[in-house]
């Protein structure tokens, strides 16, 4: 029961990141560059305070920390810029569709032989993403925003894969945020930046609460979940974001988005709920 509760809170936090970022950058409360930097700064600060108060050490040395920081930076930058043009729910759908396809591909590359069912599910999910991305008169997807969200999705997939072996989730997340900050602080050199008080507040909540603590919580529950279950529960994030975008941001839910959602979520669920990949014999 505790694991279910913690996992549910984590998924709500992930969906909230989409809502908060879209709310900030679309309204002009913060430009996407400043928002990304402030989000990482808030996350690093909150996590640093918690680790100091709890007496934890911050470990920067393993190579995975730098991979985690680089993938986190790619996610943060692509995520913020994408929400200039994408609705919260649509962005979350593209993000987590790419995440799951990337993780599926990683399994294949690592020598895990996919079954016919898994290939079919991945194919259906990929076609669902094409429905979202395909240009046309009825398409509501900005291709530049979609490409940026694809970059964010690949970054998040790498971040998730490297975090599965975290021994101390809070310390690892804190180190990732602190190493990520100098990688993206260069964005402050971009001209025409603006941040209102509301933008600062949204970045503080998004960075310190739903990102920093949310990611630490994700690293905590990941080792307790089978990989297939960890992938399945993330399918709830686009649904939460679509509903939240409609309720709190007044975003319209297009039929194409609903159709694509059904294909992406259904295809991924089909692929990742089949039996575990049998390891190839060498």
Dihedral over alpha carbons 19, 23, 24, 29 (to 10 degrees): -160
Averaged pLDDT, 204-209: 96
The DSSP symbol for 59 reads P
**Section 56-85 average pLDDT:** 86
For 162-205, the DSSP string reads HHTT-SSHHHHHHHHHHHHHHHHGGGGGSSS--B-HHHHHHHHI
Q: What is the pLDDT of residue 58?
A: 75
Mean pLDDT, the chain, as a whole number? 84
Q: Which residue has the tokens 């929400």?
A: 83
What is the DSSP annotation of 87-108? Answer: -HHHHHHHHHHHHHHHHHHHHH
Residue 280 has pLDDT above 70, yes or no: no
Q: Is the pLDDT of residue 276 over 90?
A: no
Q: Tokens 């069912």, residue? A: 117
Please say if the pLDDT value at position 230 is more than 80: no
pLDDT-based confidence at residue 209 (cuts at 50, 70, 90): very high
Q: What is the pLDDT of residue 228?
A: 62
Least confident segment among 163-172, 232-241, 242-251, 260-269: 163-172
Rounded to an integer, the average pLDDT of 48-64 is: 79
Contacts of 2 (CB under 8 A, 6+ apart): none
3-state SS, residue 279: strand
Please state, in angstroms and rounded to a whole number, the distance separating the CA atoms of residues 191 and 203. Answer: 19
* pLDDT recorded at residue 227: 63
Q: At what angle do helices 2-27 and 236-248 cross, to 10 degrees?
A: 50
What pLDDT, on the 0 to 100 scale, is given for residue 252? 84
Report the range of poorest mean pLDDT among 112-121, 177-186, 190-199.
112-121
Q: Where are the domains of the chain?
A: 2-272
CA distance 153 to 149: 6
| Closest alpha carbon to 272 in 264, 281, 280 | 264
Tokens of 3: 């694991």
pLDDT reported for residue 281: 39
pLDDT of residue 114: 67
Q: Which of 166, 180, 221 is nearest to 71 (CA)?
A: 180
Question: Is residue 21 within 8 Å of 206, Cβ to Cβ?
Answer: yes
Alpha helices in 222-254 (DSSP H): 227-233, 236-248
Residue 271 has pLDDT above 80, yes or no: no
Q: Residue 136's pLDDT is what?
A: 57
82 in Cβ contact with 146 (< 8 Å): yes
What confidence tier does 259 reach under pLDDT thresholds 50, 70, 90? confident
For the residues 213-226, what does the mean pLDDT come to? 84
Per residue in 125-159, pLDDT (tens digit) is 888 878 777 765 455 678 899 999 999 999 999 98
pLDDT at residue number 282: 38
pLDDT value of residue 137:
43
């Amino acid at each position: 029961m505790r694991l279910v509760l913690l996992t549910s809170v984590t998924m709500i936090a992930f969906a909230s990141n989409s809502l908060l970022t879209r709310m900030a950058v679309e309204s002009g409360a913060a430009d996407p560059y400043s928002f990304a930097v402030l989000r990482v700064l808030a996350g690093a600060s909150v996590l640093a305070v918690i680790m100091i108060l709890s007496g934890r050490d911050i470990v920067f040395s393993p190579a995975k920390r730098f991979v985690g920081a680089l993938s986190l930076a790619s996610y943060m930058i692509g995520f913020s810029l994408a929400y200039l043009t994408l609705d919260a729910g649509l962005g979350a759908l593209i993000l987590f569709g790419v995440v799951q396809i990337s993780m599926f591909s990683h399994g294949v590359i690592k020598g895990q032989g996919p079954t016919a069912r898994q290939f079919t599910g991945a194919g259906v999910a990929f076609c669902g993403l094409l429905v979202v991305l395909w240009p046309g008169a009825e398409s509501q997807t900005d291709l530049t925003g979609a490409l940026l969200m694809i970059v964010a999705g690949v970054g998040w997939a790498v971040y998730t894969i490297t975090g599965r072996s975290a021994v101390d989730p809070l310390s690892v997340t804190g180190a990732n945020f602190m190493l990520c900050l100098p990688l993206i602080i260069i964005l402050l050199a971009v001209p025409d930046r603006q941040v209102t008080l509301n933008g600062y507040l949204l970045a503080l909540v998004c960075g310190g609460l739903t990102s920093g603590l949310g990611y630490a919580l994700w690293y905590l529950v990941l080792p307790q979940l089978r990989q297939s279950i960890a992938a399945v529960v993330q399918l709830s994030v686009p649904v939460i974001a679509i509903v939240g975008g409609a309720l709190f941001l007044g975003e319209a839910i297009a039929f194409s988005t609903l159709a694509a959602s059904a294909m992406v979520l259904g295809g991924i669920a089909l692929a990742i709920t089949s039996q575990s990949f049998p390891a190839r014999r060498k």
